């Protein structure tokens, strides 16, 4: 599925040209449960198809727990400060963040904030699916 979804993601009209592709990382516990990081799989495919380097820029600064049962306000509160960029990581000015699903945008906003604080001036997002209520 990762190959098919990443292909579809690269065919989005207006997909920006960036210096690097990265992904929203899973928490360690979720990664251990699943055995793979779906956003990383998608980012790798997007990077390959756009001939852009794929670099893991973000880490989970803290565990946020499952977001599924939280409303938008609770999601934003839970995601504040959830991501960090390592001290030895050089963040380019333009970054494309890849994630699997966009619900309220709280996760994407937290990831973008961490990247901007680390030096990115342009942060874009592409997702495989958009959740609607």
pLDDT in tens, 71-95: 777 777 778 888 999 888 899 999 9
This prediction has a pTM of 0.89
- Please name the residue that has the structure tokens 């852009």: 52
Whether the pLDDT of residue 68 is over 70: the answer is no
Task: Using DSSP, state whether 94 is helix, strand or coil.
Answer: strand
Whether the pLDDT of residue 70 is over 80: the answer is no
The secondary element (H helix, E strand) that includes residue 101 is strand 94-102
The two three-digit tokens of residue 102, written as one number: 């966009």
Is the Cβ–Cβ distance between 57 and 85 less than 8 Å? yes
Q: Which CATH architecture has domain 2-127?
A: 3-Layer(aba) Sandwich (3.40)
Alpha-carbon radius of gyration of the chain: 14
The secondary element (H helix, E strand) that includes residue 73 is helix 72-79
Whether the pLDDT of residue 133 is over 70: the answer is no
Domain range summary for the chain, segments of one domain joined by +: 2-127
Across-strand partners of 20?
95
Q: Would you place residue 66 in the very low, low, confident or very high pLDDT band (cuts 50, 70, 90)?
A: low
Is the Cβ–Cβ distance between 1 and 20 less than 8 Å? no
The secondary element (H helix, E strand) that includes residue 105 is none
Diameter of the chain by CA atoms? 40
Is the Cβ–Cβ distance between 45 and 6 less than 8 Å? yes
């Amino acid at each position: 599925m990762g190959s098919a979804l990443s292909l579809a993601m690269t065919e989005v009209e207006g997909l920006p040209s960036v210096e690097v592709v990265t992904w929203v990382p899973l928490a360690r516990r979720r990664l251990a449960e699943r055995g793979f990081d779906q956003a990383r799989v998608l980012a790798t495919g997007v990077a390959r198809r756009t001939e852009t380097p794929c670099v893991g820029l973000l880490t989970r600064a803290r565990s946020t727990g499952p977001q599924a049962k939280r409303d938008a306000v609770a999601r934003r509160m839970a995601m504040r400060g959830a991501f960090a960029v390592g001290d030895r990581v050089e963040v380019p000015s333009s970054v494309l963040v890849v994630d699997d699903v966009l619900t309220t945008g709280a996760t994407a906003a937290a990831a973008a904030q961490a990247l901007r604080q680390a030096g990115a001036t342009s942060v874009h997002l592409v997702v495989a699916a958009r959740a609607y209520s």
